[in-house]
Structure 1
Amino acid sequence: MTPTTNIREWPFRLRPPQILAIGFALVIALGTTLLALPVASETGQPVSIVDALFTATSATCVTGLNTVDTPTTFSLFGEIVIVLLIQTGGLGFLTLSTMVALLLGKRITLKERLLMQEALNQLTVEGVVRLTKYVLTFTFICEGLGALLLGLRFSRDIPLGQAFYFGIFHAVSAFCNAGFSLFSANLMDYRGDLLVNLVITTLIILGGLGFSVVADIYTKRSWQRLSLHSKVVLTTTFWLIVLGTILFMALEYTNPLSLAPLPLNEKLLASYFQAVTPRTAGFNTLNIGALRPVTLFLLIILMFIGASPGSTGGGIKTSTFTTIAVAVWSIIQGKYDIEIFGRRLPRGMVLKALAVAAVSMMLVVTVTGVLLITEQKEMEIVLFETVSAFGTVGLSAGLTPQLTVAGKLLITATMYSGRVGPLTLAFAIAQRLGRQGIKHYPEEGVIIG
């Protein structure tokens, strides 16, 4: 019996997945209330409750989709609320509460360690407090350096104080894979700026690797000594970025509305940026609505895969994708064991990966179908927006600002599901998992294929 099934002291007998789901919902509710206040509006007229809910969910779920223009709609107070929601959603409210407890010298109990295990997506409870310390230290170092570099660059275009405020906002938004920008054109005006592009993409990649991978690299410092999980994440991330860059450039090279007018160096930089940002970040240096349908399909695939477990990003995760790919390849080769990097994957882990992908696919298909009815838009645009919401990416092909109230609420629910995790959410809303029966029925096969 696992520790989580034997604990009787959970508040209201809630399990860790339920606590995570409710916690995110409470943070969203608080954010909605604050963003709906007149003081959060640039004009003094409060935004609608639906738009406040949408923005709070998008920020907390580190997505970046917007029904309103952030810099022209929200005041300084509203923008600060948004960046705090991004930080809370990116790190997780449990990580931040653990930080407060550690600063106060409070002892972290077993219940809290079990919650941290669930929040950080770890296999065991061992070392979760130490990992939390790594998470906080690494996050603030990355965001601090990113804010400094971006602030210095932005100071060439806007006043110094505002430049560093913009630097902090964009560094937090990038590391947490949120994609919120204080520029109405997002980062399109910095398409050819090497510093801005490299700082933003580096923060996105570091935030999307997963904190356990970063801690593993820091402690092991050798490829041979890295865990299997770290090797899978790093290898998958590398190839997704490389292949994504090559394919994006090939598909858009002659598109007069995107890459065609740009010099070669800007073509390469923009292609690299747009290969990184679908990994749940949401920034863009090109007009996404002007991309070719086949390019949108490429971005949909990248968005659906997403970042890595235990990171600030969403999607089904890189390790899930690779596990399924390796399993399929093993079956094609006629192998019973599923092997990668000289290790054999447990079959239960493969089944979990298939479950995550299947539940995610069903969610995307269902939401897309409903949005096709409510929004009356083209299939590729609706699918793109749905996957962007599910993967907590934030890229938009132009549909989000035009959503009906029903569409806004549906995308809001999709962002929440994508951040909490389809499988975790399914467990969270279940009443109680029944005990595994002691009866075993006779085995019989079915015809496959």
Structure 2
Amino acid sequence: MNKKRMFYLDPPKILVLGFSFIILIGAFLLTLPAATVDGKGLPWLDALFTATSATCVTGLVVVDTGTTFTLFGQLVILALIQIGGLGFMTFATLFALILGKRISLKERLLIKESLNNLSIDGVVRLVKRILIFTAVIELIGGILLAIRFSFDMPLPKAIYFGFFHAISNFNNAGFDLMGDFRSLTGYVDDPLVTLVVCTLITLGGIGFIVMNEVYEYRQTRRFSLHTKIVFVMSSILVVFGTILIFILEYHNPKTLQPLSPLGKFLASLYQAVTPRTAGSNTLNIPDLTQPTLFLIIFLMFIGASPGSTGGGIKTTTFATLLGAVWSNIKGKEDVIFFRNRILYDTIYKALTVTVSGLFVVMMITMLLTITEPNKDFLMILFEATSAFATVGLSMGLTPELSPVGKILIILTMFAGRVGPLTIAYAVTLHRKPDPFKFPKGKIMIG
């Protein structure tokens, strides 16, 4: 019985192993000669890094995607992005439904865990809608971007570029094909590209549960507390992020100063939206001022919303912590949002997720200062946060990482995508409540 328990694969273990398996397959494919332009394939460590970044929808790269990979290699990366963004359980469910297979209770629990849903009720229906939402959004985004790109390149290439960047940005991955690590800097003041990509990033980052509630609103005429908090917190972060970046970069001759008033606004908006774990950029990140870089680190750490294609500690986690702090300052016992009391278990989980995230970022930053001794501290902190929050924005450190540094970032991206708590649960043999309670003790805080 104990041996069975030891090897029992509960949902967290399956998710960790599932993502690991997909990454290894992707890495193997990228080492094939057909994957790279030079016909040699990527070295194993670089292939593992790229596959992890794509599957964890991060976007950090050690080689330039547009110039290094062949069409085959780029399609492998695109497939990993799509599977990693939606979750491998979503695709497993799709294949099961196509084959007419019944979804078991254990599989429904896996889907619930994968989507970070609150219950197993209606999860299969939710998966079906996720696939439809994804197809429609990526199709519209791909068409709009292809139309714009067609003015700069041949139509077949514009169509391919349009759909690649639509899929990459909806899944908050940030991979691009523009070459020379440029991302979308060539379209910094382009309204169509900026607004379409920002919309794709936002829709991918608010979460499929929220998208489903918006879809059902005509029938239900109500939003859950979760959706309300996501809308409010996401709006606050984007609005204040845009305003602060506009102010901080307004006189920077390397970023906003040369642009028109509309260009300044579009660039500020884009750089406020993309830290929500997207990773593409229209301003050169190393050219930003230090206050802006620190702001982006803060936004990256918060990240997207639960059940989305993005990472970070999530908007609801941050909102819960703010609510707990405010309630404590006001001397109130309960945390109240929209006339709803937040359970203590939720507050404890929010605190655990945040502290775990801070610990990972701090530990990886410290280790990178050892493995990359000649690099600027802010650059290292920026890269570590970007990896943990699966953002993909970079100050240029990733392509210059040592082999040990690459391994550290690989582990950080994996932990950020799967979640520190999921990994902790996966490596724990079994969890059970304490058989008795200890006496209460008091300590002084603050």
CA-to-aligned-CA distance 1:344-364 (integer Å, 9 cap, x gap): 000110000000000010000
Structure 1 counterpart of 2:23, from 22, 28, 39: 28
d(CA) in 1 for partners of 2:434 and 2:344? Answer: 21
Runs of 4+ in 1 over 6 A off after TM superposition: 8-11
Residue number in structure 1 paired with 2:113: 118
User: After superposition, what is the alpha-carbon deviation per residue over 1:42-92, rounded to whole angstroms, capped at 9, x for unaligned?
Assistant: 110222111101100000000000111111111110000000000000001
User: 1:378-389 residue pairs with structure 2 within 5 A?
Assistant: 378-389=376-387
Q: Which residue of 2 aligns with 1:410?
A: 408
2:40 is aligned with 1:48: no
CA distance in 2, matches of 1:12, 1:163: 49
Q: Distance between the aligned counterparts of 2:96 and 2:6, measured in 1?
A: 18
Match of 2:426 in 1: 428
| Preserved contact between residue 5 and residue 430 of structure 2 (Cα < 8 Å) | no
What is the SS of the residue equivalent to 2:334?
A: coil
- 1:409-444: CA deviation from partner (whole Å, max 9, x where unpaired): 1001100000001111111122222x2232111111
C-alpha separation in 1, matches of 2:197 and 2:256: 20
The answer to whether structure 1 residue 66 and structure 2 residue 64 are counterparts is: no
- Letter paired with 2:25: L
TM, length-normalised to structure 2? 0.97
**Number of the residue aligned with 1:134:** 129
Shift of the 31–197 alpha-carbon distance from structure 1 to 2, 3 Å rule, reads same
Match status 1:309 vs 2:306 = yes
Identity score, percent: 54
Deviation at residue 162 of structure 1 after TM alignment? 1.1
Q: What's the counterpart of residue 207 of structure 2?
A: 210
The residue aligned with 1:330 is 327
Task: Tell me by how many angstroms 1:98 deviates.
Answer: 0.4
User: Which residue number corresponds to residue 188 of structure 1?
Assistant: 185
The offset of 1:220, in angstroms, is 2.1
Q: 2:104 aligns with which of 109, 112, 116?
A: 109
* Number of residue pairs the alignment of both structures matches: 441
Find the aligned partners of 2:283 and 2:247 in 1 and give their Cα distance.
15
Residue 282 of structure 2: aligned partner: 285
For 1:404, the aligned partner's letter is S
RMSD: 1.5
Structure 2: distance between partners of 1:234 and 1:309: 12
Distance in 2, Cα, partners of 1:328 & 1:360 = 19
In structure 1, C-alpha distance between the alignment counterparts of 2:436 and 2:312, rounded to whole Å: 36
2:166 alignment partner, one of 160, 166, 171: 171
How far, CA to CA, are the matches of 2:409 and 2:155 in structure 1?
A: 37
- The residue aligned with 1:85 is 80
Q: TM-score scaled by structure 1? A: 0.96
Q: Give the C-alpha shift of residue 378 in structure 1.
A: 1.4
Amino acid at match of 1:192: D
Aligned-partner Cα distance in 2 for 1:225–1:146: 28
Q: Does 1:296 align with 2:287?
A: no
Q: Deviation at 1:10?
A: 10
| Structure 1 pair 256–223 and aligned structure 2 pair: CA distance change class (3 A) | farther
Superposed CA offset, 1:320-356 (max 9, x none): 0000011110000000011011100001100000000
Q: Which of 354, 358, 366 is 1:357 aligned to?
A: 354
Alignment partners' CA distance in 1, 2:189 and 2:290: 24
Would the alpha carbon gap of residues 36 and 379 (structure 1) be closer, same or farther in structure 2, given more than 3 Å must change? same
| CA drift at 1:404 | 0.6
CA contact (8 A) 2:116 2:306 kept: yes
Q: Is contact 2:304-2:311 (8 Å) kept?
A: yes
Unaligned 5+ residue runs, structure 1? 1-7
